[in-house]
Structure 1
């Protein structure tokens, strides 16, 4: 018996040592982090990968909210799996602040987002500056991702999803049933979601990494939850002959996340530190580590290591909605709150039998040309009559900023979106909302649809500015070209890359960023494997 416990303790110590002294140190177990870890651990079984995830292990209730499609709006309010960041006021939306949400659990924002598959219009990817990555060369990756994650029309769609799509076609949008076709500027389709055959959300962790942890990658991957990265550790050296100074990332300091039992710990990377902390937290971590502009770092009391415009050209997307009530047909069946919250519904869903909890909140998606992309949700807005809402997410070139306010890793950053600061942005959102009003007008008379607002569905600039909100998408904090190279290496530094939505320099045109983040992670996973082939094998 003593030998057994000694072996157990020895195994635990070896695992801890491997976690602290690793080949690849991945900071953030979100979308990109899970993809990269899965690629590296399979390709290099003798190398070690450590993932630092700030989120704590999920409770059974939070895990339920994450995976039950009908519980999407509940999971958005669960602060144990997501972080809320309040922005600075924006003049373009009448001086209002907005609240941004980002994932804070294994799987990242793929655990709390709308699960919707949307691809950017042709020409978008070519603007990002990744060598040999084009719309055409991205296609095989998108097909791989679509199948790997299991995107597709939901098995248990909303009752009126087909009616919405038909109304869209009547309003002039072209039906597009090909998930990889981006050639039609004005198109509509029943939403394609990442829901598996057991009616559960499939996120980046459950699709890419979780299946490997009990099998091929059980011995060479360490997932550390509840550890917040506070600073990247740099080693600086000076060439005695030339006097040139080189900077290399060699590790990451962590502190325990709130509620965690972890102690402050330093983790070392023999090969590379891969920052995949997401659109808000990757630029924040770089700034906390002394990578940023002198003015921002001085104001926060952080010593500068590298002068780079981290967080200085962020791109955030605003959204707006058109809600309409309907009284001529029964309420959407999945809006029965009593049934949704019943023990019977949960038992049915837990057994893999679907039921009301497997019904998503979204009915359709589409592209409003180069102005925006859109979606429809049918959820219970109580009290009041049944309603459905169309939402537009405008395309934009407007930039804002994200800056640390001090050296505390738990302090929220200063977030300036500059929503609707340009007339072009207002016009794009206005035209898209006008298109949505036209879709609502095309519903059969039997629905007895009525605009809840604006009156008679007449969209004005004032209406657009009054209803605009955070549009769920944020890129550019560590943009390719300004902060990282086309190989995602932080400029002026070795051993450090940033690979996630923050690396994308421009907003994906007429699409959300999720598919694009999966693309970049898949691509760079392949390129890292190729780069280290022969070195780590």
Structure 2
């Protein structure tokens, strides 16, 4: 089989890119995805994420683990990643966040010309079909439906008012370029027609509606094993499906969109990267590129949790089970109710130091008790609040565990390797506990779980090292730039090779200050224009 463009990975970036490139009827596109179609009921029903996220069993989820983390008392971190069309946008909390304008201006200052805020804003707008309509910051004609929450719980309103009582500004729009404040998240959720209230994954937005294009071939259950090279030029992709080996040739380009873990893994499996990461596994070197798999950054997160007598949230109880059946019926009929929830309903971006120019912590207020990624359950009802460090200084890496393409990559985030990350997180936990203790939210709390006193910094450090983990935003392992450790240039072409690009969150030189799904879609939108422009010049 042959195609002009072969894309590996049908997640947020791959779905977007395959759709946009195949808009041109004169080119052919082949998309390889290791998972399934990503259109089942568990994906479509937002609250059903609780069945997929824990990875027990692995439903639409790679459910990776890190190597033991010294900064987390030697614990292995959990790294859920979406498996199927839509990727992690099929199993995430649907939160639509872009980050801060200065995040992108920093990319440009690091040598990524054309990736400053004013240059990427048109691609955010292009992707959006925002329920609030079209204006200078938002679009209303794009494939990705962005919605106000359908039925936020009263307890989330109490969280917002508690923050306001502490003089935290209310923010209606967290995506204007400045996100400091407290309010409700917007979500990637259908707000029109018969799908109202369903999750709008990247595949649901971009790919599923165009699967019948004659110039687009989507192959699911296809595990990529390596990029095929002729000299220094990528000419195709080897993959397996149903126990049989296949190859699809690329007449123009191979594009990797596997994400921050799988894109560097596939490069290393293909002999591209650092010799010390590749040769020990018996893989021949094709091209030495020292940045492959380096520069891993992720948002380390710590969660506060509280028991509550309030039953208008998710919990484990007989009344809660009866209420859940009613909410399922309501969602099927109207698209509203608790089944439409993103769980993380309340948002806050805060400064731990008032002299900082940007918020350095992010809060996700959740209408249930969250413990170990919902892998530990608690009887009764309650609520939680995540606190994450937005711009961590710690840097990790991704490598190979073996030459087997089906083996999980070796993931080492090096959480808390830089002591500044711990210091910011401690201040963030203290600031968040003030919000949780403020009225009217305080009236909802029966008792706090995990922390039962006013801990000093040493005690908080122990709590953090014992319980903190990712909030699912790994980036940076094929970073964009012009320095010796960059993997791709500002046009996302792999340095030193021909016919090969990387288009996904791995190209971010620095982690943006917020959730990474909307920026990943933006990257793919911009990449489509870059690729079309290169094709027109050829």
Q: What TM-score bracket applies, with the shorter chain setting the length?
A: 0.7 to 0.9
Is structure 2 residue 369 aligned with structure 1 residue 376? no
For the pair 1:306 / 2:306, whether they are aligned, the reply is: no
Deviations 1:150-200 (A, max 9, x none): 223211212321111111112332111124223353x11112111112110
Secondary structure, aligned partner of 2:22: helix
Is contact 2:152–2:345 with CA below 8 Å preserved after alignment? Answer: yes
Decide which structure has the larger Cα Rg and report it: 1
Aligned partner of 2:410 in structure 1 is: 414
CA spacing shift, 1:378–1:235, aligned 2, 3 Å:
same
> Which residue among 181, 185, 188 is the counterpart of 1:194?
188
Q: How much has 1:533 moved relative to structure 2?
A: 3.0
Residues 51-93 of structure 1 show CA distances to partners (whole Å, capped at 9, x for unaligned) of 00011345x8xx1111211112112135231101111111111
Aligned to 2:35: 55
Post-superposition shift, 1:470? 2.0
- 1:469 maps to what in 2? 469
Could you say which residue in structure 1 is the equivalent of 2:432?
Answer: 436
Quick one: distance in 1 between partners of 2:334 and 2:349?
Answer: 33
- How far residue 285 of structure 1 moved from its aligned partner, in angstroms, is 0.3
Query: Do the aligned partners of 1:334 and 1:359 also contact (CA within 8 Å) in 2?
Result: no
- Distance of 1:440 and 1:25 partners within structure 2: 49
Q: 2:536 aligns with which of 523, 533, 536?
A: 533
Aligned 1:141-180 pairs, distance under 5 A? 141-147=123-129, 148=142, 149-180=144-175
Classify the secondary structure of the residue corresponding to 1:72: helix
Q: 1:405 aligns with which of 396, 401, 420?
A: 401
Residue 490 (str. 1) matches residue 490 (str. 2): no
- What is residue 262 of structure 2 aligned with on the other side? 281
For residue 400 of structure 1, report the CA deviation from its aligned partner. Answer: 0.9
Superposition deviation, residue 385 in structure 1? 4.4
What does the per-residue CA deviation read over 1:369-397, in whole Å, with 9 as the maximum and x for residues that have no partner? 24221111012565444321110121202
From the superposition, tell whether residues 387 and 467 of structure 1 become closer, same or farther in structure 2 (CA, over 3 Å). same
Equivalent residue number for residue 276 of structure 2: 295
CA distance in 2, matches of 1:115, 1:219: 31
How far did 1:453 drift?
Answer: 3.1
2:81 is aligned with 1:92: no
Give 1:334 shift.
Answer: 4.7
Deviation (angstroms), 1:405: 2.0
Deviation at 1:352, TM superposition (A): 4.8
Alignment correspondent of 2:525: 522
Partners of 2:74 and 2:313 lie apart in 1 by: 39
The C-alpha deviation readout for 1:378-436, integer Å capped at 9, x for no partner, is 12565444321110121202111111122100111221111112210001111111111
Partner of residue 253, structure 1: 238
Displacement over 6 Å in runs of 4+: none
Q: Is the 8 A contact 1:158 1:334 kept in 2?
A: no
What is aligned with 1:478? 478
Q: Give the Cα–Cα distance (whole angstroms) in 2 for the partners of residues 92 and 393 of structure 1.
A: 15
1:27-46 mapped onto 2 (5 Å cutoff): 27-42=8-23, 44-46=24-26
Q: Gaps spanning 5+ residues in structure 2: where?
A: 130-141, 352-358, 371-376
Secondary structure (helix, strand or coil) at the match of 1:123 reads: helix
Q: Could you say what secondary structure the match of 1:375 adopts?
A: strand
Give TM-score, length-normalised by structure 1: 0.87
Deviation at 1:341, TM superposition (A): 5.8
Name the structure 2 match of 1:5.
none
Q: Deviations over 1:32-54 (max 9, x none)?
A: 11111111111x20211000001
Q: Note closer, same or farther for the CA distance 1:534–1:45 as it changes in structure 2 (3 Å cut).
A: farther
Tell me if the contact between 1:143 and 1:180 (Cα under 8 Å) persists in the aligned partners.
no
Q: Name which of structure 1's ranges 135-144 and 302-311 shifts more when overlaid on structure 2.
A: 135-144
Q: CA deviation at 1:228?
A: 0.5
Aligned residues of 1:397 and 1:507 also touching (Cα < 8 A): no
Q: CA RMSD in A?
A: 2.0
Name the residue aligned to 1:226: 221
Deviation digits for residues 196-244 of structure 1 (CA, Å, limit 9, x no counterpart): 1211000101111212224xxx2110000011000000001xxxxxxxx
Residue pairs, 1:97-136, within 5 angstroms: 97-128=76-107, 129-136=111-118
Number of residue pairs matched by the alignment: 490
Structure 1, unpaired ranges of 5+: 1-19, 237-246
Counterparts of residues 303-382 of structure 1 (less than 5 Å): 303-309=284-290, 310-327=292-309, 330-335=310-315, 337-339=320-322, 342=325, 345-369=327-351, 370-379=359-368
Return the alpha-carbon distance in structure 2 between the equivalents of residues 346 and 388 of structure 1. Answer: 21
SS for the counterpart of 2:62 is strand
